[in-house]
Amino acid sequence: MTTTRSISVGLLSFAHGHAHSYTGELLRRSDVTIAGFWDDNQDRANAIAAQYGFRHYESLQELLAASIDAVIICSENAKHADLTLAAATAKKHVMCEKPLGISVEEMELMIQACAVNGVQLMTAFPCRYIPAVVEAKKSIDRGDIGEIVAIKGTNRGSMPGDWFVVPSASGGGAVLDHTVHVMDLMNWFVQSDVVDVYAEAATLFHPELEVEDAGMVHVRFGNGVIASLDPSWSRSRSFPTWGDVTMEIIGTKGVISIDSFAQKNDLYSNKESKAQWLYWGDDMDAGLVDAFISAIHSGSAVPITGEDGLKSARVALAALESARLEAPVKL
């Protein structure tokens, strides 16, 4: 009888809300130990320590010097690169929240540092584990809809506030925040590199912001597939959930429509100020965390690499540049 070794994980920052969902998945596993966390925001650190009872490391170096196998980074976007470089130097595997970075140069450095130090770098794209997305990928690979011709997608959300709307911390607004998820799915489905990007962006719904909250991104892949994406923060406070992930994949022999969060019940209650969507489908965050931990256990390559993160973020950054120039951008 063989016993699976426990993987020890350190958590680097709870700035991004996904840190809580990833933590929840780690806590459900018998093959993972959470060694503790580090956060450079003292108020946030105090709240996390009180909520979970985890050890709070006062310094990043102290946590990285501990006997841990991996880290999960959920900091502000602008800190992803520095934290990944530090973790790679300490020989820790890394799962980093999206977008992988806020410049092509820093993402290339992140990928290189992990490769040189012999550790894995996984980009946190949980949408690959949504049941409808998984089935769509199988259908595409079987050739059910023939060759893909075009894709129309949305990742419309609610304006998150906090550091997400501070340019120096986020690197951009809705276009950077929400393009990367569906762009990764498009890359995964099409299996070709984007060669042209044209986008328009503006601040339409929240005029007080310093970043864009609306946009339309259009891309052309090297194999001729064209795609469009709405990544806007256009969902109001009254919307039942934070947003949506939808895609319409048009092929030469058929069409696949994806509504990622259709596995839900509608709840109407006087205790709530708005209708609620109660999602009952498989948990995409569970699939993401399982893939990361399983890769460490087996020593196999992570299924969503740093290169995948770079490919999608590069398009988002090009979209911001296209909107600024009011012209297409070639990659």
Give 190-224 pLDDT, tens digit per residue: 999 999 999 999 999 999 999 999 999 999 999 99
Domain containing 211 equals 128-284+313-330
**Is 160 inside a domain boundary?**
yes
Predicted pLDDT of residue 272:
73
Structure confidence by residue, pLDDT tens digits, 21-62: 999 999 999 999 999 999 999 999 999 999 999 999 999 999
d(CA 114, CA 228): 32
Strands 264-267 and 276-279: antiparallel
Structure confidence by residue, pLDDT tens digits, 228-278: 999 999 988 877 777 889 999 999 999 999 998 887 788 888 877 778 877
d(CA 184, CA 304): 9
Predicted pLDDT of residue 3:
54
d(CA 201, CA 314): 16
d(CA 40, CA 58): 8
Q: Do 173 and 111 fall into the same domain?
A: no
**Is 249 inside a domain boundary?**
yes
Q: Do 154 and 31 fall into the same domain?
A: no
Residue 85 CA neighbour count, 13 Å, CB half: 12
Mean pLDDT of the 131-144 span: 96
Q: Do 180 and 219 fall into the same domain?
A: yes
Q: Do 217 and 275 fall into the same domain?
A: yes
d(CA 18, CA 23): 8
Q: What CATH number does residue 146 fall under?
A: 3.30.360.10
**Is 1 inside a domain boundary?**
no
**Is 308 inside a domain boundary?**
no
* Residue 114 near residue 213, CB atoms below 8 Å: no
Predicted pLDDT of residue 167:
97
Q: Do 169 and 317 fall into the same domain?
A: yes
Report angle CA 28, 29, 30 to the nearest 5 degrees: 125
Q: Do 133 and 15 fall into the same domain?
A: no
**Is 255 inside a domain boundary?**
yes
**Is 306 inside a domain boundary?**
no
Domain total in the chain: 2
Predicted pLDDT of residue 1:
41
Mean pLDDT of the 273-295 span: 87
Helix (H, G, I), strand (E, B) or coil at 109: helix
Q: Do 52 and 132 fall into the same domain?
A: no
Q: Do 213 and 324 fall into the same domain?
A: yes
Q: Do 117 and 149 fall into the same domain?
A: no
Mean predicted lDDT score pLDDT of the chain: 95
Q: What type of residue sits at position 190?
A: V
Query: Rounded to two decimals, what is the model's pTM?
Result: 0.94
Structure confidence by residue, pLDDT tens digits, 90-102: 999 999 999 999 9
